A = this chain, B = another copy of it.
Amino acid sequence: MAKKSAGGTSEALKKLKVRDARTMSKLVELADDVAKRAIAGKEPRLDVPLRTRSNTNWNKKRGILEMGDATSERELFNLNQAKQFMQTMVHMSNIKELIETQKTSSLRSLFYAAKHTIEGTRENTFDDQDESDPILEDIEVTLGALREELHIFAENRGGLIGNITIVDKGDEIDCRRLGSSGLMIASIVEPEIIQFKKCEADFVLHVEKGTVWNRFNEDRFWEKHNCILTHGGGQPARGCRRLLQRFNQELKLPIICLLDCDPWGHYIYSVIKQGSISLAFESTRLAIPEAKFLGIRSKDYTECKLPDSVKIELKETDIKRAKEIMAYPWFQDHKGWQKEMQRLLDNGFKMEVESLVKRGISFVTEEYVPQRLKAKDWLD
């Protein structure tokens, strides 16, 4: 058993120090550059990579969304940019303190830490958090350092149970022994924090919602089918996506998704698989190109002999969203997905995972998923 320690195992701690030293030197270098320009009488400025759709490229070979090379200048002596320039500097200074004191902070706390009225004026550095979060993402891309490396965390979201033992900050956690509760998925799940130990699982079943996860856990699906069972509480947070990717890359486990048959479920799958536009700079660390979509499929209404009461009529916004998704380059060339989405539109209705209860309480865990897994009947 790993030695108990607040900070983690000594090897992990060593790695953490190396990582922090690297982030710190990037931070200081950037700040030094700004200072040098100022001292030399030049205008202080930063080059910030653009996190826009136009600067997002689809890398067909790798199967992920990537950020392009375009940047925008952020200058101090520019009325449109001065505030953002100053905001960037304030946040960088607070992040430096976080790394120095070996603490992490939430987005909300960092907003508060940075928020103040500028001396001698009535101007606030930040008025609300919506201004603050994008600046932190700018710092991520400018430094080429991820949120975790900047010591920023979000909420622990999503849950996990199954045939694996993990070590989390030095605590060994047997995920086979977590009863009806399960482990919360932490916001920061990097190898320096969480290590994988014994794992017998053959795959990961990722479901959209906590209540569906409860159904699978109650039926001990993960034990019977030798897997890890996760949920993201809706759209999975970065921590959940990163953990799934690590299961896939390091443990070579297939990631099988069970989501609703609606454009929202398809979007969740798309983000898990290829990444998102707003976090394209993170794709190599988050995207799982070989993630599989097991269901619910638009054919299931007939194939599972479901009654009409499972139908939820598509709204205008659903139809619009479905057409947008069909036009994503990564879905455009995929015959299976085009057919799936077209059938959804032809059906005129969406279906939720929970609707399978019409075939029996445990139909989803005892028949639907096992049969589809056996037949390898999924989209990927």
Contacts and interface: CB of A to CB of B under 8 A. Distances in A.
Nearest to A97: B361
Contacts of A156: 159, 180-182, 210, 213-214
A163 B4 CA distance: 14
| Nearest 9 A/B pairs, CB to CB | A168-B179, A106-B211, A155-B210, A171-B177, A169-B179, A171-B179, A109-B357, A115-B309, A181-B186
Given A124-B309, A357-B109, A181 B173 contact: yes
Interface stretch (A137-145, A215-223, A273-281): A215-223
A46 interface: no
Contacts of A186: 179-182
Contact of A113 (B106, B172, B223, B357): B357
A62 interface: no
Interface stretch (A28-36, A73-81, A187-195, A331-339): A187-195
A177 B181 contact: no
B309 A116 contact: yes
Copies in the complex: 2
A45 to B, nearest CB: 27
B105 A361 contact: yes
Contacts of A6: 220, 223
Contacts of A323: none
Interface in A94-116: 97-98, 101, 103-113, 115-116
Nearest to A211: B106
Given A168-B178, A168-B180, A169-B180, 15 more contacts: A4-B177, A97-B361, A103-B361, A106-B212, A108-B352, A109-B211, A112-B357, A113-B361, A117-B308, A157-B210, A171-B177, A172-B177, A173-B177, A179-B194, A182-B183
A112 B358 contact: yes
Interface string A150-165: 0001111101000000
A310 interface: yes
A115 B101 CA distance: 56
A109 B230 CA distance: 19
